[in-house]
């Protein structure tokens, strides 16, 4: 098993190291995430003034927003930059020359990228929003701890699934990139991703009739499900449904990705020279 996983683990380690070199970007990322979080918190606080009973109370929504900022890098923003370069230079056929399963290599790279990026950024956002903010006049806007041990444990499980789900999305983006053979495709579905993952507005604040659909669509697992579990807005049977939704979509997307990649790679022409 360990030798089997070795190439993927190496990919993970090198990626992580590479990323740490972008020091300015790392600090700037944290500051940016915190700032945007603050704006969104303030906006929602303003909306909550003088309002009645809501599906999530204000402290829950505020914590939800901070979680969104902390785990922002977890979202499948764009396909793998290396693959974009390979597509531009026409060298993507060489991916087949590596003696490993191409899909899982891409998947491992995506996972490394997401996890490394998140690991680097989530901590500082937590320190700022959960530890420092309570010491200021804006203590009401702080990131609160989970409601209980069960919520915390379920959150860890759910955010792990989020990493796996997001990598499956990234792998799909890579494949689309290779399929349309144009390097300049970001995540063209980022608008949907943002809205339906709950990052624009927590999904619980959408109209009541839309809720069942929202829980079972693939983007909810990228943010909304783990965040609602954390804040206690999703508990018991609905929390289990949330986790099930994540697992289901991971399986579906990985299967789809593997099938599609096999087809795409089979039709690639290597550019001679």
Q: Give residues in contact with other proteins (CB under 8 A).
A: 13, 16-17, 20-29, 31-32, 35-36, 38-40, 42-43, 46-49, 51, 54, 138, 180-186, 188-192, 194-195, 200-201, 205-207
**Residue recorded with tokens 């079972």:** 216
225, 215 Cβ separation under 8 angstroms: yes
Q: Would you say 113 or 155 has its CB closer to other proteins?
A: 113
Q: Would you say 166 or 187 has its CB closer to other proteins?
A: 187
Q: Cβ 146 to other proteins, closest distance in Å?
A: 25
**Residue recorded with tokens 């507005």:** 201
Q: Cβ 114 to other proteins, closest distance in Å?
A: 17
The C-alpha atoms of residue 89 and residue 81 are separated, in whole angstroms, by: 12
Q: Would you say 15 or 109 has its CB closer to other proteins?
A: 15
Chain centroid, CA 33 distance in Å: 14
Q: Cβ 247 to other proteins, closest distance in Å?
A: 27
Q: Cβ 251 to other proteins, closest distance in Å?
A: 26
Q: Would you say 181 or 258 has its CB closer to other proteins?
A: 181
Collapsed DSSP state (helix, strand, coil) of residue 54: coil
Q: Cβ 165 to other proteins, closest distance in Å?
A: 21
204, 227 Cβ separation under 8 angstroms: no
Chain centroid, CA 79 distance in Å: 13
Q: Would you say 173 or 234 has its CB closer to other proteins?
A: 173
Q: Cβ 63 to other proteins, closest distance in Å?
A: 18
Q: Cβ 272 to other proteins, closest distance in Å?
A: 14
Q: Would you say 104 or 219 has its CB closer to other proteins?
A: 219
77, 185 Cβ separation under 8 angstroms: no
Q: Would you say 157 or 185 has its CB closer to other proteins?
A: 185
- The number of CA neighbours under 13 Å toward the Cβ of 12 is 14
The C-alpha atoms of residue 105 and residue 53 are separated, in whole angstroms, by: 48
What phi, psi does 242 have (nearest 5°)?
-60, -50
Cβ atoms within 10 Å, residue 136 = 9
Cβ atoms within 10 Å, residue 258 = 17
Say how many residues make up the chain: 273
The C-alpha atoms of residue 14 and residue 128 are separated, in whole angstroms, by: 29
């Amino acid at each position: 098993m360990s030798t089997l996983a070795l190439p993927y683990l190496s990919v993970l380690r090198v990626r992580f190291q590479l990323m740490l070199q972008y020091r300015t970007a790392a600090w700037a990322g944290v500051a940016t995430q915190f700032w945007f979080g603050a704006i969104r918190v303030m906006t929602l606080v303003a909306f909550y003034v003088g309002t009645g009973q809501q599906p999530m109370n204000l402290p829950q929504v505020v914590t939800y927003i901070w979680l969104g900022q902390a785990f922002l890098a977890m979202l499948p923003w764009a396909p793998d930059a290396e693959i974009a370069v390979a597509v531009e230079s026409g060298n993507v056929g060489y991916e087949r020359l590596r003696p490993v399963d191409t899909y899982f290599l891409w998947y491992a790279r995506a996972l490394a990228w997401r996890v490394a990026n998140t690991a680097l950024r989530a901590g500082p956002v937590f320190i700022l929003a959960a530890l420092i903010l309570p010491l200021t006049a804006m203590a009401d806007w702080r990131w609160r701890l989970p409601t209980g041990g069960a919520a915390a444990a379920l959150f860890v499980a759910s955010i792990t699934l989020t990493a796996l789900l997001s990598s499956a999305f990234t792998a799909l983006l890579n494949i689309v990139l290779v399929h349309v053979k144009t390097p300049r495709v970001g995540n063209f579905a980022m608008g949907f991703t943002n809205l339906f993952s709950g990052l624009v507005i927590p999904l619980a604040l959408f109209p009541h009739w839309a809720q069942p659909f929202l829980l079972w669509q693939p983007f909810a697992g990228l943010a909304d499900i783990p965040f609602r579990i954390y804040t206690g807005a999703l508990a018991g049977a609905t929390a289990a449904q949330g986790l099930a939704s994540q697992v289901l979509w991971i399986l579906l997307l990985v299967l789809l990705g593997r099938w599609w990649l096999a087809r795409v790679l089979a039709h690639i022409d290597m550019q001679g020279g």
